[in-house]
Amino acid sequence: MSSIVAIVGRPNVGKSTFFNRLIQRREAIVDSVSGVTRDRHYGKTDWNGRNFSVIDTGGYVLGSDDVFEAEIDKQVELAIGEADAIIFMVDVETGVTPMDEDVAKLLRKVNKPVFLAVNKVDNSKRLENAVEFYALGLGEYFPIASTNGSGTGELLDALVEALPEDTREEEAELPRFAVVGRPNAGKSSFINALIGEDRYIVTDIAGTTRDSIDTRYNRFGFEFNLVDTAGIRRKSKVKEDLEFYSVMRSVRAIEHCDVCLIVMDATRGFDGQVQNIFWLAQRNRKGIVILVNKWDLLEKETNTMKEYEANIRREMEPFTDVPIVFMSVLTKQRIFKAIETAVEVYNNRSKKIKTSELNEVMLPIIESYPPPAYKGKYVKIKFCMQLPTPQPQFAFFCNLPQYVKDPYKRFLENKLREEFDFTGVPVSVYFRKK
């Protein structure tokens, strides 16, 4: 399981610069996916072979100066609750401020690894000034400069050392379906409606993940683990900052599942927060099913459903091949359709296509529509195969891979979807030198 590291601290100490420095090294290689930047406070990175997720709490701070303090405290508390390790960033230029002391006070009570990073230390004078941060009572500090990266290596070495060991659950054989979405969209009610009757089939597997409740579901010939991200919420803490909270919660559930059931509230629409969760799942290459709950509350006209669906698909571009199920947990309308769809998406995601069959289908298509010539050079694609990864990824071998542009990759991806049915699953297409 990959760990979560939260970067906390007051505004303008350089959290986001550090965050960008961490994820760029990796993001640029793994994720040349459009739409990634919409979700700017969450990223994946690796150091010394250990992968972990980074959350930049800075991007969530709202309001004016006097509101800042309460906001930051709230986020630090959330980060403390969710993260495996915390980087507390301060600024050597301003020295220790009362707000830093507040955050330090919260962090001293925590029994998780906390790393004090003193930022903007880019000369020897500032290195001397950094000594005053011992006053925060958090022990050793790491002098760093986010802008040029000096000192970040030592910080990351220590951080990775302190992260809990990667453990994969024993339960890994069963498909895992995560129920995610913004608070109050009906996630818990959906799970209760599914397992409401015949309660004895349910076994709560304790301790699988710290914060998501796993429920074994076994009916109508389907067996899988349902991961519920809903039922754990200290109301007083998260009233206002729902977005930060939801993304924090969803990150874990999404990273460790096979299919995400994104529950949205029909009365609120496919809003920014639901989109964040959607792009998170898409970027992690998970199967996706969109469940529009509370459909019974909307006034219907003849085309309501068609129009509603078209609006959602517009927001999802370019990845629009996602099943959308309109349901109502209250009236139990179409909730089993939701599960059937999730199982289909799971099967699509684990589909393996024989190389011979793939070439038989794809090579003639490529011959009829070859990649456009670039600078007078023609790209010849000779052969393709599916890569041995948990989700569908395809390699196409050709003479000039660097000349194949995104629109053509999307064309091939759409053809793969048409021919082999990958509904609900992100498909990756790579070009390799033959």
The annotation status of 424 as a binding-site residue, yes or no, is no
What percentage of the chain reaches a pLDDT higher than 70? Answer: 80
Q: Please check if 187 is assigned to a binding site.
A: yes
For 71-104, the pLDDT digits (tens) are 666 777 777 777 889 999 999 888 888 888 888 8
Asked if the model's pLDDT at residue 412 lies above 50, the reply is yes
The Cα 81–Cα 107 span in angstroms is 11
pLDDT, the chain, mean: 78
pTM (global) more than 0.85: no
Is 14 among the annotated ligand-binding positions? yes
Question: Is residue 313 annotated as involved in ligand binding?
Answer: no
296 annotated ligand-binding residue:
yes
The answer on whether 406 is annotated among ligand-binding residues is no
Tell me the sheet residues that pair with 224: 217
Count CA atoms within 13 Å of residue 257 on its CB side: 35
121 is in an annotated binding site: yes
Angstrom distance (rounded) from CA 151 to CA 145? 7
Mean pLDDT for the stretch of residues 229-257:
60
User: What is residue 193's predicted lDDT score, i.e. its pLDDT?
Assistant: 79
CA distance 376 to 431: 19
- Continuous segment of H or E residues that includes residue 374: none
| Residue 235 clears pLDDT 60, i.e. is over it | no
> Is 139 annotated as ligand-binding?
no
Question: What mean pLDDT comes out for the span 268-297?
Answer: 86
> H-helix or E-strand containing 386?
strand 381-386
- The reply to whether omega before 426 is within 30° of 0 (cis) is no
Residues 6+ apart with CB under 8 A from 61: 11, 68, 71, 72, 75
pLDDT band at 167 (very low <50, low <70, confident <90, very high): low
Q: Is 63 annotated as a binding residue?
A: no
Q: Residue 58 — pLDDT band, cuts 50, 70, 90?
A: low
Residue 265, pLDDT > 90, answer: no
